[in-house]
Chains A and B, each alone.
Chain A
Amino acid sequence: MGALKSTPAPIEHHDLSEKTGFSLRQIRVLHKRFKQLSEGDDVLRREDFLGISSLKYNPIRKEIIEAFFNRRNFSPSCEGRANEIDFEEFLVVMSHFKPPCSKMTDEQRKNIRREKLKFIFNMHDSDGDGLITLEDYRHVVEELLSRSGALGKETSRAIADAAMFEVARTVGHRDPDEFYEGITFEHFLKLLSNFDIESRMNIRFLKTDVIPGCRLG
């Protein structure tokens, strides 16, 4: 960290800190990691992620990598996918895993929940149409079970079916004639209403105290 420590943080880092809520020190370390992954480049590509060795055991590796290139994660209005991302977008994706502040109003807590759940929703919704269809969900379950050897697609299908039924039930879908297209984001929120994602979906970034000022992007 020698050289980095002596120079003052560039202006961009201050801006990024404002935008994402990371502290300057965290941004510096993440920048270093970014450079390491991209081998000195200014942008990251998918191949760079594949170089991470410990990621290869991960059953949902592909989805995670895709999440970094999914424009919907950069800002709510963007669409489509990118092929390369720069440091700012990398940080924005990472900021979804920030721990929540200890003092938060209910409104802020709800917003954070929405953000995190939207991230996961985007991961499930591979074609980006805003709906998680049965096929999408089946794919998720298959991936989760894929690392456990040949367990048969049918079992994962059965599980995904059961999960979809549960969704339909939770959402209050009673009309027998209606074809259940897929899970919308609102349904997804309702489905996981008991799941305290805001305290679970967190990464400890360097064990430093989280954020001065506790900005919520």
Chain B
Amino acid sequence: MAVLGPGPASFRFGSVLLILLILSGSSWTRDVPTGRNDTRPELNRERDGQNRDHGNNATKHKAFPVLELNYDYVRMPFEISLWILLALLMKLGFHIIPRISHIVPESCLLIFVGLLIGGVIKAIQEKAPVMDTKLFFLYLLPPIILDAGYFLPIRAFTENMGTILVFAVVGTLWNAFFIGGMMFAVCQIEAAAAAHVSLLSCLLFGSIISAVDPVAVLAVFEEIHINELLHILVFGESLLNDAVTVVLYHLFEEFSHADTVTVGDAFLGVVSFFVVSLGGILVGVIYGVLGAFTSRFTSHFRVIEPLFVFLYSYMAYLSAEVFHLSGIMSLIACGVVMRPYVEANISHKSYTTIKYFLKMWSSVSETLIFIFLGVSTVEGPHNWNWIFVVFTLVFCLLSRVLGVVGLTFIINKFRIVKLTKKDQFIVAYGGLRGAIAFSLGYLIHQDEGSKDTRGMFLTAIITVIFFTVFVQGMTIRPLVELLAVKKKKESKPSINEEIHTQFLDHLLTGIEDICGHYGHHHWKDKLNRFNKTYVKKWLIAGERSSEPQLISFYNKMEMKQAMMLVESGSAAKLPSVMAAAPAAPAAPAAPAQTAEQQSEPTPERMIPKISKTREAEIRRILRANLQNTRQRLRSYSRHDFFMDPFEDNMSEVRFRRQRVEMERRMSHYLTVPAKQQETPSVRKVWFEPEHKVYTYDKNESTRPSDSAALLDESNQRADGQSEREKPTRCLSDPGPDEEGSCFLPS
């Protein structure tokens, strides 16, 4: 390792990592129990040694061990951490090599790395860690699903719910039966030498391989930035078909143990489908409501807010799995239900924490899944049966295409915005299989026929996964370019669009009422009203419960811009704008409503009122200096997330512009009245003529305190000027605050 020369850094890097991986891989093989047994005698020996040292009747004088090697003690966590660390270093390495990451999607690279590792481990005759089904379903999958569910774009999802459901349920059923049936027919061919495989086994196989996999879809689709409709169609389908997969899998597994299958059993299967899906959703909703209710009371203990979100969601998943309900649907339902209420209750820091943690965990999980997939491929029981595998592949593709085309034909009769041929192609092409299919395949009992059958199935499953992930994953990007499919609009969330979204909702509801037609909008409106009158009162703390969506949207935007201003460290420069006041051109006083907005100072106010003319001047100047501001990137994709505006390099010019823009925004608050109970989360910033800026916060909301904390920190960083009073506990997450006054120097 000391021979790192001037060669291409990435290759050296890679080789170093491989060596380390081998080391870890080889040491993975020792059984855990023996490890534990080893430690205890070791500890005893140590104790004995020390006793002897302290001691009295020592037969042999053993030197005090200054440095000891006790690897077994930490072996398990050490190896897990090492694996995760190396997996992430791999992922980092891929981004450093730009050329490859443009052509090959990350999932392929990770599988490839897994293959390499698996090959190396096999070469040194050790047993590799395979993807334990329990590990996968209980630890690796939930973070990804929670991340997807929590940040699911609700509007797009509910608008296309019908289409998604049809694809998920009918499409998966069609796939399962078609593939199962056709493979059974193939197995009867002489050349296949697989005549012992029963129909039920084939149907079981079909049900495993038929489901589109959310992990693979996420991994590939995130990189191609396709338009929201297609993204949500394929992704929504991959989430909702979990219920179908679970039911079919258990159904066929049970049946293959039974001797006969009656119509009653089939009917029970249908019933079980409804139980599984609706039950899963119900469990998720219950936990979601519980989580939302809990978050109402966390204002005193903000630090653990994110934990509540994670734990309730995870419990929802596990509880659903206990009853063999659909864990994925439960998790999604929990995240969707919980999110609007929790976000209204928690502090901004907790929100950021949740976002970052979810993205982090899901990234790690995804990386590990793909690497394990590669390793397990090399390891797993294989039985390569040419005919079986090739026909499986062919029928998978065929059934997917037929299913999508056929279903779209029916669905388009009910859709307003029809799905074009291009859309259909992308939906069909995006039907990737992934690790869920593989894990389910692993679960097949050995006594299903012979071991060969299981091996054959697994080989076929792996081949299909590899084909879809590698071939389809790699080619989908150039195909999207070639077909000129609409890409995702990189739109900044603008307040105008938000206003018009709401306006349009009400307009369409009204028109529906005029037509006398109880359509989509009518019911949505009813649900919103129910939500507002009853549910929000219970689940949202305090005054936020009556805050309409437009206001919270606006406040979030303002908050973000306040923080951006603070990051540019500009609060100290405020006086310069004021100094420039006399020199400003006489701009017309566009709605100079300052006259009627001078509200009476309340007793809590500590600052003298500003004169009306001064206010008008400030407004005029700031309006005159209107410049561009960066807006928050709205995105739920993991890749976009890393390009958060905060991490970007901002030029000095833009700094200044943003600062001015922010000052303009802050001037808005000059005209907001002191009736804090109406808009508790709006920050009040007052400009004192002596260039002292006071801020105060009457209610207990912590979002403003965060910005105050940041303002304070930034000022401490920027200039250690004097006459600064000690801030009250702004820097941590405070509870309700009487006069949380933070003074900012000039």
Contacts and interface: CB of A to CB of B under 8 A. Distances in A.
Contacts of A64: 507, 510-511, 514
Contacts of B548: 144-145, 147-148, 151
A2 to B, nearest CB: 18
Interface string B329-352: 000000000000000000000000
B664 A58 contact: no
B32 to A, nearest CB: 56
Given A144-B550, A206-B517, A155 B679 contact: yes
Interface stretch (B430-438, B669-677, B721-729): B669-677
B133 to A, nearest CB: 43
A47 B413 CA distance: 37
A158 B597 CA distance: 12
Contact of A191 (B418, B496, B515): B496
A144 B672 contact: no
Given A134-B590, A144-B502, A145-B550, A150 B514 contact: no
A157 interface: yes
16 contacts: A33-B514, A57-B529, A64-B510, A120-B500, A120-B504, A144-B502, A149-B546, A154-B671, A154-B673, A158-B672, A192-B496, A194-B489, A194-B497, A195-B501, A205-B515, A209-B413
Interface in B534-571: 546-548, 550-551, 554, 557-558
A123 B504 CA distance: 11
B626 A154 contact: no
Contacts of B512: 203
Interface string B505-525: 011111111111101101001
A168 interface: yes
B606 to A, nearest CB: 21
Given A58-B509, A204-B416, A141 B519 contact: no
Interface string B658-683: 00000011001101110100110010
B678 to A, nearest CB: 5
A134 B591 contact: yes
Nearest to A99: B416
B624 interface: yes
A33 to B, nearest CB: 5
Contact of B593 (A148, A157, A209): A157
A55 interface: yes
Interface stretch (A7-15, A72-80, A81-89, A159-167): A159-167
Contacts of B510: 55, 58, 60-61, 64
Contacts of B491: 194
A97 interface: yes
Shortest beta-carbon contacts, A-B, top 8: A176-B624, A148-B548, A102-B418, A64-B510, A99-B416, A179-B588, A194-B491, A54-B513
Nearest to A181: B590
Contacts of B732: none
B504 A141 contact: no
A202 interface: yes
Interface in B478-499: 489, 491, 494-497, 499
A150 B678 contact: yes
B625 interface: yes
Contact of A151 (B500, B625, B678): B678
A155 B665 contact: no
A135 interface: yes
Nearest to B492: A194
Interface residues of A, number: 68
Interface in B126-180: none
Contacts of A177: 585, 587, 624
A33 B511 CA distance: 12
Interface in A76-114: 94, 97, 99-100, 102
Nearest to A173: B626
Contacts of A131: none
Nearest to A59: B506
B558 to A, nearest CB: 8
Contacts of A215: none
Nearest to A200: B504
Contacts of B124: none
A140 B418 CA distance: 32
B59 interface: no
B57 interface: no
A207 B529 CA distance: 25
B34 interface: no
Q: Is the interface of A mostly helix, strand, loop or mixed?
A: helix
A30 interface: yes
B641 interface: no
A142 B557 CA distance: 19
Contacts of B628: 169
Interface in A162-192: 162-163, 165-170, 173-174, 176-177, 179-180, 191-192
B13 interface: no
Contact of A60 (B494, B507, B665): B507
B576 interface: no
B496 A176 contact: no
B515 A155 contact: no
A152 interface: yes
A4 interface: no
B292 to A, nearest CB: 20
B425 interface: no
Contacts of A194: 489, 491, 494, 497
B692 to A, nearest CB: 24
Contact of A97 (B499, B508, B591, B626): B508
B420 interface: yes
A141 to B, nearest CB: 6
A20 to B, nearest CB: 14
Contacts of B532: 148
A33 B515 contact: yes
B414 interface: yes
A195 B499 CA distance: 11
Contacts of B500: 120, 192, 195
A182 B618 CA distance: 21
B554 A158 contact: yes
B414 A207 contact: yes
Contact of A55 (B514, B588, B591): B514
Contacts of A165: 623, 626, 664
A204 B416 CA distance: 7
A72 B517 CA distance: 26
A3 interface: no
Contacts of A57: 525, 529
B417 interface: yes
B503 interface: yes
Contacts of A207: 414
Given A179-B588, A192-B496, A194-B491, A203 B551 contact: no
Contacts of A97: 508, 511
Contacts of A144: 499, 502-503, 506, 548, 550
A58 B511 contact: no
Contact of B514 (A52, A145, A162, A199): A52
Contacts of A135: 591
B554 A203 contact: no
Contacts of B501: 195
Given A151-B678, A152-B678, A179 B587 contact: yes
B519 A159 contact: no
B511 A152 contact: no
A151 B516 contact: no
B680 to A, nearest CB: 11
B519 A204 contact: yes
Contacts of B416: 99, 199, 202, 204
Given A60-B507, A152-B678, A158-B668, 14 more contacts: A33-B515, A52-B513, A59-B506, A97-B508, A120-B503, A120-B507, A134-B591, A144-B506, A148-B546, A152-B679, A158-B671, A192-B500, A204-B519, A204-B520
